[in-house]
Chains A and B, each alone.
Chain A
Amino acid sequence: MKVSRNWLQRFFNEELPSAAALAEALTFHAFEIESVEALSKGSPRAVRGESSDNGNDWILDVKVTPNRGHDCLSHHGIAKEFSAILQLPMKSDPLREEVSLKPRYSDISLHIENANLCPRFVAAYIASIKVGPSPEWLRKHLESIGQKSVNNVVDATNFVMFDLGQPLHAFDAGKLHKKDNVYSLIIRPAKRGETVTGLDDKTYALNETMLAIVDGVASIVASIAGIKGGKPTGIDETTTDIILEGANWNGANIRKTSQALKLRTDASSRFEQVISPELAPYGVRACADLICEIAGGEVVGFVDEYPNKQQQTSISVDAGRINAILGSKLSDAEVGGALTRLDLPFTKSGDAFVIEPPFERLDLTVPEDIAEEVGRITGYDKIPPVELPPMSTKPEVNPNFYAAERAREEYVAKGYSEVYTSIFADDGERVIANKVDGVRPYLRTNLDIGLGIALERNVRNKDLLGLKQVKLFEIGTVWKDNKETIVFNSYCETPTNKDSVVSGERSGDKPLTDYISEILKQYDELPLSETKRYVPFSKYPFIVRDIALWVSAGTKEDDVLEIIRTHAGELLVLSELFDTFKKGERTSLAFRLVFQSFDRTLTDFDANERMASISSALKAKGFEIR
């Protein structure tokens, strides 16, 4: 979520530290920061944010974790975090004040069909407003976090959502129908076939799994509950009276509807995280007041249906338990201090802190949650690492892994290399229902096919690999005869004269247990990879050339190789002696040279040129090329 430093500043008297310091505070005590951006004259510019003077504003993109979606998808929530982390007092906390929904408005008849889907519905009737542009300060705040200013009424609803976290929606009261001077709003599942054109001008087809706010007099869907308002009842320049809605919706239902309609809005993304129904009156009151301030008008009254009251949770935990979880040595005073910083009210009952979290902190339910709160605020860096004590019993040896390691060692010693191939196949007994790429949806029944493809591919690179024969094995899972088992399979190429045919000797899938004669109490000491760095290989084709020459007795092959390498240049990627024989006094040495480029496909010309240069260098040293 994008958070503006200037916006946050509204919650504090004291000047906030630099954006960089704010980012650091959140990173180590609350949330990951995706980016820090300076806003200067309206144009975003990514900079590191050391100084607060560089731009008019700073924007932090905060990755609010799912457990804090209840309370931290708002500037208020983030401001509270800063207040706790940096120990900065807030001017006042709007959510800790009394909120009044008076007077009551009786000309809306409200009917909630299923309280589980709509735990609360609050609305305000505001009359005689004048729709127009928003004041500068409001436009600036919204634009700073990437929101477009629409008009004063819509902007007010957005501002309060990003400020306090309560999504709001304004209906043009003049476009809703009345019967006997009374509006009727029914919150019910949509009927299959009902449609609504949203404020985004798109028409959405609804069904009975989706919740709608219905104009009960006209039996028309006025809005997709918690997700999108309808165009026909939207605010325009002719609007004078509005019904301002601030409701609470079932998170799971909102998420499903939003997915089904492929419509994710700032409102739906908040509701789907589940927010407290206690927040609704604060949102509606704050927004109604703001509209009256910037659009004129007056609040005629409020309605509030709250069938499912939120219960106050209570968590009891003592400092001993917190320390036992964290490995800390916090005193009662330190724990109490952390709770106070976090605005988590508590009473003491003996050693126990009895905490009654504020309504918006729906994430706090068990003592471990409190340990986390205390741990992150006091800082995880303060917790000393402590070595694990010795175990009284030795760890067990895993038979499958033991056998797998045996098999690896046996086959590596015989020149085989280990591969992992995909478990997905074109055929099998079990199939994936929803594979994103649609290809090879089956779970493999054997390792043969994957290993066959792997062998064929590697045979093409045999010269490059310096291998006479490609030998592969795999240890992997297969799904066959209704069982999931781990099997071993090997495939050894039998070189043929025909270039195009790859054939070889297969072991077929063998149970891993074939490799266990007895399982010891300890794993064998097996070699670990001593490789320091991986060296990227060229994706371009290579060219192989052989060169043979007569040398006199006493000539070292390494000396010859040295001459070859020096004159071959950078394109030579592999060079080795592959044949040698004696004829009288002289010895014939045959070398295989592999040329390859990192950035292009080599031509015969390239190879010929290199070979010519090698030949003349060898001739100059007095060797006779065969």
Chain B
Amino acid sequence: MRGHIHPISSLIREANKIFFDTGFTFVEGPLVESEWYNFDALNVPKDHPARDMQDTFFIKDEKEMVLRTHTSPVQVRYMESQMKKGILPPYRIIVPGKVFRNEATDITHEAEFFQLEGLVVSDDTTLGHMKWTINHFLKKVFRDIEVETRYRPSFFPFVEPGLEVDMQLRGAKAPEKLRDRWIEMMGAGMVHPNVLKSAGVDSEKYRGFAFGMGLDRLAILRWGIDDIRLMHSADLRFINQF
């Protein structure tokens, strides 16, 4: 009898396939990250509320080291390493991986969870490309369920313009609980020129977009999972259903 892979792994496998076919390279980065990559390089200045103690796990006796709060630091790490190798854009990467928020856990919150980051940089990338990429991914991942998206203004320091993406599942194949409801799916936007500068990329010549979504959340919607804590429960009553 075959065993089962974890639903998050299954989603990452599927996401990687969708994005690989569109030219994206799977990239990773460290979970213990410097404040520079996690915040400063992403245009989150020292006094920004997002850097407050209560959100971020700090490593004791290690100066300015944190558990990364998002997968976005890998944007800067990747671009920087490419530039050092003399490889100029275009870049297309996805970064699936674990991230951390220092908060109490409950049915919808986990201190450790998974994110999927995407980054596209070239000399002609537009918000239109971003919309296509996100729509394409959601349509593929929800397979035969009809997916509608909408884009709203929002704010994240590392993108400008910054947007929020809502999704709606439609039609008979959509789960009844979710059908025809707008659900917040991810933050996205055009890479802030300061982020490109942090990575040593010429922000006059190159532009890009980035997006980041919770994979646990995506799994919850895709399979109708009722408690986010199941993801890290290591409970086969859960895992063996996938």
Contact = CB atoms under 8 A, between A and B. Distances in A.
Q: Are both chains from one complex?
A: yes
A396 B25 contact: yes
B160 A372 contact: yes
B36 interface: no
A83 B207 CA distance: 31
Given A325-B127, A395-B23, A534-B225, A432 B234 contact: no
A30 B153 contact: yes
A255 B49 contact: yes
A390 interface: yes
Which size bracket describes the interface of A in this complex? Answer: 35 or more
B73 interface: no
Nearest to A451: B234
Contacts, number: 254
B67 interface: yes
Given A368-B161, A535-B241, A458 B236 contact: yes
A447 to B, nearest CB: 11
A412 B2 CA distance: 5
Interface in A65-104: 65-68
Contacts of B240: 417, 465
B168 interface: no
B102 A417 contact: no
B80 to A, nearest CB: 17
A31 interface: yes
A214 B58 CA distance: 37
B23 A418 contact: no
Contacts of B207: 324-325
A369 interface: yes
A477 B16 contact: no
Given A385-B128, A387-B132, A411 B3 contact: yes
B104 interface: yes
A357 interface: no
Contacts of B3: 411-418, 471
A105 interface: no
A326 B236 CA distance: 46
A434 B57 contact: yes
B153 A372 contact: yes
B171 interface: no
A65 B155 contact: yes
Contacts of A156: none
B153 A380 contact: yes
Interface in A423-447: 423-424, 430-437, 443
A31 B153 contact: yes
B160 A327 contact: no
Interface in B123-149: 124, 126-129, 131-133, 135-136
Interface of A: 27-32, 65-68, 251-252, 255, 259, 272, 324-328, 366, 368-369, 371-372, 375-376, 380-381, 383-388, 390-391, 394-398, 400-401, 405, 408, 411-424, 430-437, 443, 450, 453-454, 457-458, 461, 464-465, 467, 470-472, 474, 477, 479, 484, 523, 526, 528-529, 531-537
Interface of B: 1-10, 13-14, 16-17, 20, 22-28, 30-32, 46-49, 52-54, 57-62, 67, 90, 92, 98, 102-105, 111-112, 120, 124, 126-129, 131-133, 135-136, 150-155, 160-164, 175, 190, 192-193, 207, 223-226, 231-232, 234-242
14 contacts: A28-B153, A366-B160, A385-B131, A388-B132, A395-B23, A417-B4, A417-B6, A422-B232, A430-B62, A432-B59, A436-B111, A477-B98, A484-B31, A533-B175
